[in-house]
Amino acid sequence: MGNLLEIQGLKTYFYSDGRVIPAVDGVDISLRKGETLGIVGESGSGKSVTSLSVMRLLPKTGSRIEDGQILYKGNSLLQLSENEMRDIRGNEIAMIFQEPMTSLNPVYTVGQQLTETVMLHRGYSKKEAREHAIEMLKKVHIPRAEKIVDEYPHQLSGGMRQRVMIAMAMSCDPELLIADEPTTALDVTIQAQILDLMRELRNTQGTSILLITHDLGVVAEMCDRVVVMYAGQVVEQADVFTLFERPSHPYTQGLMKSMPKVDQDLDRLDSIPGNVPLPGTIKQGCRFASRCPFVEEKCLAEEPPLYTLQDGQQSRCWLHADAAGKEVAGA
């Protein structure tokens, strides 16, 4: 399996009030064809900025991709002109956002928004596009698709809107779907419906998915491989079974222990002390050092590399220095 998407050494910085905010600070992520890759992290970890960088949807002013490469099928997305990028966006790479209300246009009907992409990318006529839109609505199990197609977003519930967003994203049969917290705004029973739908589309269309979430439960259920981000960096990377069986980075371990479980009783939760750091506030050493239970002097002075352990698991922590040895130290 070749890599469909390869992010190499990506640095996306924001500039405000003369300050530089390194939201994404040297990130390497690769996504194989047909794979569902999860990116997990808390607020400010840089997971959403990474996905917006891939789509080249960052705000024009105040942000810049400083360094790195984003290769899609081996071609650099960063070198494309805006027109060439538009051919890819919505067509080969589609995106679903967290807030289905704010990402649908309230003054256009569902049908108008659904037909736009296929008319642009596929050159469908209005009539063909409308039929296609209805077909897509049926595919995402929207009842009364022929009627809903003429309704406005505000007439739909949150779950229905997210279905419309998915229909829109899937309408050009994209190879890569980027889903940024697709179920976070939804109730748990609706979330179950939407995750079910995404799984179904993945299995029937073979779409590769980049799933951005803060919910480890969703990751366990959906993903093949997982990247854990913290303060703009990848701190751990592993296949989903390895990650949940033996998380190796202290941050991942802490995250898992701090979650209350629906099927278990814990008297006290282990919690990670301190606060999630603002990007750019930690200048030296490991970014997790101030909250880490295993912190040593070295952690405060020097930033650890991403070590490659067994089964392709990677972890950015000095704890692995002895076990892994210097010679196998990864990127």
Partner 1 sequence: MNTLLEVKGLKKYFPIRAGLLGKTQGFVKAVDDVSFTVHEGETLGIVGESGCGKSTTGRSIIRLLEPTAGDVVFKGQNLTGLKGEELRKMRRDLQIVFQDPYASLNPRMTVGAILEEPLKIHGLAGTTERRQRVKDLLDIVGLTEHHYNRYPHEFSGGQRQRIGIARALITKPKLIVADEPVSALDVSIQSQILNLMKDLQEQFQLTYIFISHDLSVVRHISDRVGVMYLGRMVELAPKHELYDNPQHPYTQALLSAVPHPDPREVRERIILSGDVPSPANPPTGCAFHTRCHACMEICKTDRPELKQTTEGHWVACHLY
Phi, psi angle pair for 76, to nearest 5°? -80, 120
Nearer to partner 1, 159 or 304 (CB): 159
User: Under 8 Å CB-to-CB from 39, ≥6 apart: which residues?
Assistant: 29, 47, 50, 51, 210, 211, 212, 213, 226, 227, 229
Other CB atoms within a 10 A radius of the CB of residue 271 amount to 10
Shortest reach from residue 264's CB to partner 1, in Å: 8
Q: Which of residues 12-51 bind partner 1 (CB under 8 A)?
A: 42-43
Shortest reach from residue 147's CB to partner 1, in Å: 15
Member of 58, 85, 256, 319 binding partner 1 (CB under 8 A): 256
Shortest reach from residue 19's CB to partner 1, in Å: 17
- Give the span between the Cα atoms of 271 and 282, in whole angstroms: 21
Nearer to partner 1, 79 or 271 (CB): 271
Residue pair 314/306 in contact (Cβ under 8 Å)? The answer is: yes
Please choose, out of 77-85, 165-173, 201-209, 273-281, the segment that lies near partner 1 by the rule CB under 8 A: 273-281
Residue 203 near partner 1 by CB under 8 A? no
- Give the span between the Cα atoms of 67 and 80, in whole angstroms: 15
Residue 102 near partner 1 by CB under 8 A? no
Nearer to partner 1, 56 or 199 (CB): 199
Residue pair 229/27 in contact (Cβ under 8 Å)? The answer is: yes
Intra-chain end-to-end CA distance of the chain, in Å? 22
At what angle are helices 158-170 and 110-122 packed, to 10 degrees?
10
Shortest reach from residue 6's CB to partner 1, in Å: 25
Shortest reach from residue 140's CB to partner 1, in Å: 14
Residue pair 168/117 in contact (Cβ under 8 Å)? The answer is: yes
Binding map of partner 1 across residues 158-197, x = CB under 8 A, - = no contact:
xxx--------------------------xxxxxxx-xx-
Member of 205, 271, 281, 310 binding partner 1 (CB under 8 A): 271
Strand partners, 14: 21, 63
Residue 211 near partner 1 by CB under 8 A? no
Member of 2, 61, 127, 262 binding partner 1 (CB under 8 A): 262
User: Strand 208-213 to strand 176-180: parallel, antiparallel, or no bridges (unpaired)?
Assistant: parallel
Residue 157 near partner 1 by CB under 8 A? yes
Residue pair 137/75 in contact (Cβ under 8 Å)? The answer is: no
Binding site for partner 1 (CB under 8 A): 42-43, 143, 157-160, 187-193, 195-196, 214-221, 223, 240-241, 244, 254-256, 258-263, 265-266, 268-273, 275-276, 291
